[in-house]
Amino acid sequence: MKKQTGLACLLLCWVMNGFAFQYPPKDKWWEPVNDTEYLQEKSTVITTSQPVSSLAMLNGECHLLMEGQVHLLKGESLSKVVNSPKNVYRLKTLNNVLFAFSDQGLFRLQNTSWEKIGDARYVDACLHLGKPHFATQDDIFRLEENELVNIAPVGGYLSSDITMVMEDGSQVLADPVKLSPIQRIASYSGTLHILQPGQLIQLDGSVVNEYFIDWGQLPSKNTREMVSRGAQLFVSTDRGLGELRGATMRHFKGSDGLPVEDTYSLTLGFDNDIWIGTSRGAVRRLSEGEYQYFGAKHWLPDNKVNDIAVGERKVVIGTDGGLGIIEYIPFTLAQKSAYYEKHLDEWGHKRMGFIHTLYNHEGEWLREISDNDGGHTATYLAAMSYKFAVNGDEKARNEAVDAFEAMLWLERVTPIDGLIARSIWSRKGDTGQMGQRGSGGLPAKWNATADSLWYWKGDASSDEVIAHFYSVAIFHDLVAEGKEKELARDHMTRIAGYIVENDWELIDVDGKPTRWGRWNPEYLLRPYGWDDKGVNGLEALAFTKAAFQASNDPKFKNAYQQLVDWGYAENTIRQKKTFPPSTIAPWDDNLAFESYMTLMRYEDDPELNSIYWRSLERTYEIKRMEQIPWFNFSYAALTGNNAELEEAVQHLREWTLDCTDYPYYNSHRDDLFVQPGYISYEGGLKAISPREKAVMRGSRRAIVLDGGSGNKVMEPVGYIRDYWMGRYYGFIKSPEKAAPVSENLKPEKGGAAPYRGPMRPEFL
């Protein structure tokens, strides 16, 4: 090993002063996060043949308009309201009374019958000083019992223009002061405010005040809606949101976090929030000024939002394509994990211990026998291992053992000890088609077993290799007993031994190296494989260290030392690529952190650990802006440093319950900027919330703006692993309310039919 005197002295000082790297870290610079109950969104989408133009809630029920006809939403069904007014263009609820604005006048619903109370064409209504007020384009009326009374003073309105005020305070007006054209009205600070196209005026008793705003101005002359909430009055425009506070008008736009500046409808929420309808989806503005974006196709049938109605923890959004219904359900992170575990069972993601994505083929959900069945299953194996280590759950142990045996089979199914398969296909039990594409777009390499019952996919890559070591090492340390421990040890030593014996290459059944299974210096330290020298070197160091840790076989210690002598440890420091963009592979981040979590748990050499720590620090700083728990938790577990655990836990809360890979679009948004305190090293414009994307697996990236297809249902094992990893390391506390997922919140049955073919060999 090459050593630099200065570095060695520095490390010696660290060791003498107790600062040498150790696992688990002695010092912890983080505070655990409580698993407090939060409100989880649940989505329902109802498509309609006509646009939904207006909505209103009454006694928990939603009334809506389609082509001028009032409809009632019951569950997920729509029915016309009999004997309702015709040609209705707006619905409004005031003081628990539903009003309908029609070409034939103003109507209100009394019990089950509609009563006409006005003949004019009304444009808006609000509650002011406890009384319903209604506006036509020219006048404002107060509803007194059954009569609409014009609030205009005798002699007409006065002007706030000081040039029109006489010495005695009277006014002589050449022309009467008018309120028109009235667009919207709202009660704010005990005073009526009137929105005219491009102008906000205040009705101060009998005075029409056009000059009450001392600071600021409306974002645009193209004004749309208005709503008041406490000390704020909001106005929607095509260039953002205006907020009146006292005599100051502020302007909220994309750079302030508003996802879409082209705003229309404004509706008060149930939790001191405001819902904003836009031309490109719905936006929720929380009381703290945080924004949440809800777009098609997950949350809405169409992005053109016409109106929004809010009930008790329920929001109904009317669009040109139908309704988006969002219910808010009290949840804990533990309950969500249990929900996802049930989803795996109910939707048929499991098959012979493997975990699969589902895909839609001619209307039928089928399990995808993928390029990386071992890699996808590895995440679940780690998840169940952590869960068992936390609470001793015997079901979790059984699930871990089942997944472990599936991983074993990927090596035992091949005719060569140490060679692993990507996936396994049953000739008599699997449905759909065997994938014809392999690694990097090359043709798939399927091989039949000697008994012809199975096909196994060759050309395994470094992805699968490190996934085996990452997950099996965790299983070995936290779950395995007796023969299980022996099998886990033998599994790792067979694979590592085969690679080392073949000069650091994974030799396929055809006698040639697989496309990506290469860790030798002839590949990594030459131009062809130069870009991979960091991450592949990190993998090789990790799997040889894990094999030695499990077996204490000196050949793996020697192999590890050989890698160090080649400079592989130093190469890990800059393993994370940021430029040029064509070299950035998001799955490499997953491989790197699987390697860190394997290598750094076992390494006790202070000099080498200082190198790996620098590598991890650099990598985590690049990934930090995405706030993904997998990266944050791994970094905190290995270093003890603060890893923004609150943000990581919030990321878990924002995962959606529906695992369908819906199309999502964020590149159109006006709030695409990097949050203060972060640097985008990979060129990402924004870290997108899981709520605004789709469920993704371990190599997920928060900076991908658009994606999804709607033709897949993803396995939510990334959440399950991250949650139980957080619990195992103490980042997430056990919830105070350990309530199970209630019956009405269980995932719906669906997905792939149960596997009916021959079963996997048993190894225990």
The CATH class that applies to domain 332-745 reads mainly alpha
pLDDT value of position 162? 59
User: Are 75 and 323 in contact, with CB atoms under 8 Å apart?
Assistant: no
Write the pLDDT tens digit of every residue in 101-132.
999 999 999 888 999 999 999 999 999 999 99
More confident residue, 140 or 154: 140
pLDDT value of position 725? 98
- What tokens does 525 get? 């330290």
Q: What is the pTM of this model?
A: 0.93
Q: Is the pLDDT of residue 666 over 60?
A: yes
User: Of the spans 145-154, 388-397, 524-533, 694-703, which averages the highest pLDDT?
Assistant: 388-397
pLDDT value of position 584? 75
Nearest Cα to 235, choosing from 219, 247, 256, 246? 219
Nearest-angstrom CA–CA distance, 465 and 426: 23
Cα end-to-end distance, the chain, whole Å = 41
Place of tokens 């202070």: 606
pLDDT value of position 581? 72
User: Are 280 and 262 in contact, with CB atoms under 8 Å apart?
Assistant: yes
Q: Which of 534-543, 619-628, 731-740 has the lowest mean pLDDT?
A: 731-740
Model confidence band, residue 15 (pLDDT cutoffs 50, 70, 90): very low
Write the pLDDT tens digit of every residue in 489-519.
999 999 999 999 999 999 999 999 999 999 9
Residue 91: C-alpha distances to residues 67, 75, 88, 282, 413 (Å) = 13, 20, 8, 19, 66
pLDDT value of position 529? 85
User: Are 468 and 495 in contact, with CB atoms under 8 Å apart?
Assistant: yes
- What tokens does 577 get? 């690529």
Q: Is the pLDDT of residue 176 over 80?
A: no
pLDDT value of position 288? 80
Give every strand in the sheet of 240-245, ordered side by side: 223-229, 232-237, 240-245, 248-252
Q: What share of the chain is helix, strand, coil (3-state, %, to 5)?
A: 30, 30, 40
pLDDT value of position 433? 82
Q: Which of 212-221, 454-463, 586-595, 740-749 has the lowest mean pLDDT?
A: 740-749
Nearest-angstrom CA–CA distance, 401 and 484: 8
Q: Which of 110-114, 309-313, 465-469, 568-572 has the lowest mean pLDDT?
A: 110-114
pLDDT value of position 49? 95
pLDDT value of position 3? 39
Q: Is the pLDDT of residue 18 over 50?
A: no
Q: What angle do the packed helices 394-412 and 462-478 form, to 10 degrees?
A: 140
Q: Quick one: 395 exposed, middle or buried, by C-beta within 10 A (0-12, 13-18, 19+)?
A: exposed
Q: What angle do the packed helices 533-551 and 483-501 form, to 10 degrees?
A: 140
With a pLDDT cut of 90, the percent of the chain lying above it is: 83
pLDDT value of position 697? 80
Model confidence band, residue 66 (pLDDT cutoffs 50, 70, 90): very high
Write the pLDDT tens digit of every residue in 317-356.
999 999 999 999 999 999 999 999 999 999 999 999 999 9
Tell me the β-bridge partners of 143: 148
User: Are 568 and 511 in contact, with CB atoms under 8 Å apart?
Assistant: no
Q: Chain-wide mean pLDDT for the chain? A: 92
Domain boundaries, the chain: 38-330, 332-745
The CATH class that applies to domain 38-330 reads mainly beta
Residue range 394-399: average pLDDT?
98
DSSP 8-state class, residue 677: T
User: Are 645 and 731 in contact, with CB atoms under 8 Å apart?
Assistant: yes
Residue range 422-446: average pLDDT?
87
Q: What angle do the packed helices 533-551 and 586-602 form, to 10 degrees?
A: 30
